[in-house]
Copies of this chain bind each other. A is one copy, B any other.
C-alpha cells in the first residue's frame, strides 16, 4: 500500500506487513491474473508461509478487493492532482491531454495496483466487483465531466456521446497493458499517439 501513515509508523517501520502483502499481491496479480495467483505465491514472494497471511487478511477475496480499490484510487488521485496543478484558464483539450499522459504513466510505470486492477477486474468475485464499482464510477464521472466541459466550451461537438467517448479513450489505454513492453515502446510516444488520436483523429482533414 505505502500510503499515508502516522509519524510513529513512518519512523519505526517503513511499511506494515499488511501493506507488504498488498504490494506483493498487486505485483503478482498484475503478472499472473487472479485465479493463477495462489496464497502460496504471495507468501513466497515475502519469505513467508501461506498460513501467515491469514493473520492479516481473512481471505483471498479481502486482498483482491483492497488491490482493486487501491488501483482505481491511485490513478484517479494522480490524474485529478495533475489537472489541478494546471492554470485555471487552460482549455479542455489541454486537460484531457494531461489526463491521458497521467493515466498511462500511472498504469505502466507508477502503480502495480492500477495495472493489476485492469487485469483482474473481469475475474474478480461478483460481490467484490459490485462494491468496487463505486470507485470506478467516480473515476468515470471525472472523465465524462472533462468531455462535457469541452462540449460546453464549444471545443467538442455537441453530437459527441461523452459516456461512450470516455469508455473508448480509457479502454484504448487500458488495453495497452496487453501489448506494452518497456523494451519496445515508451510511455511518451504512447501518450502522444493517444493524445493525437483524440485531438485530431488519424486522418488529415486539410487539403
**Is A139 interfacial (CB-CB < 8 Å)?**
no
Instruction: Give the chain B neighbours of A202 by CB distance below 8 A.
Output: 96, 147, 150, 156, 160, 165, 198-199
Task: Give the dominant DSSP class at A's interface.
Answer: helix
Query: Is residue A46 contacting chain B, with contact meaning CB distance below 8 A?
Result: no
Closest to A171 in B: B175
Instruction: Flag whether A6 is at the interface (Cβ < 8 A).
Output: no
Q: Of A56-64, A66-74, A117-125, which stretch is located at the interface?
A: A117-125
Which stretch (A12-20, A77-85, A106-114, A187-195) binds chain B?
Answer: A187-195
Verify if A155 is at the interface (C-beta below 8 Å from B).
Answer: yes
In the bound assembly, the distance between CA atoms of A155 and B202 in angstroms comes to: 9
A-B contacts, 10 of them at CB < 8 A, read: A33-B35, A122-B178, A150-B203, A156-B202, A161-B189, A168-B193, A197-B198, A197-B201, A200-B200, A200-B205
Chain A 151-176 interface 0/1 with B at a Cβ cutoff of 8 Å (1 = within) = 00011110011001101111111111
State A119–B93 Cα separation when bound (angstroms).
32
Copies in the complex: 2
A26 to chain B, nearest CB (A): 16
In the complex, chain B residues whose CB is within 8 Å of the CB of A185: 164
Which residues of B have CB within 8 Å of A55? none
Q: Does A47 contact B (CB under 8 A)?
A: no
Residues of B within 8 A of A175 (CB): 167-168, 170-172, 174-175
Report Cα–Cα, A194/B157, bound state, in Å: 15
Name the residue on B nearest A175 (C-beta): B171
* Closest partner residue, chain B, to A200 (CB atom): B201
A52 CB within 8 Å of chain B:
no
- Chain B residues with CB under 8 Å of A165's CB are 193, 197, 202
Q: Which of A93, A194, A201 has the most chain B CB atoms inside 10 A of its CB?
A: A201
Measured between alpha carbons, how far is A204 from B171 in the docked complex, in Å?
A: 22
- Kindly state the separation between the CA atoms of A202 and B155 in the bound complex, as whole angstroms: 9
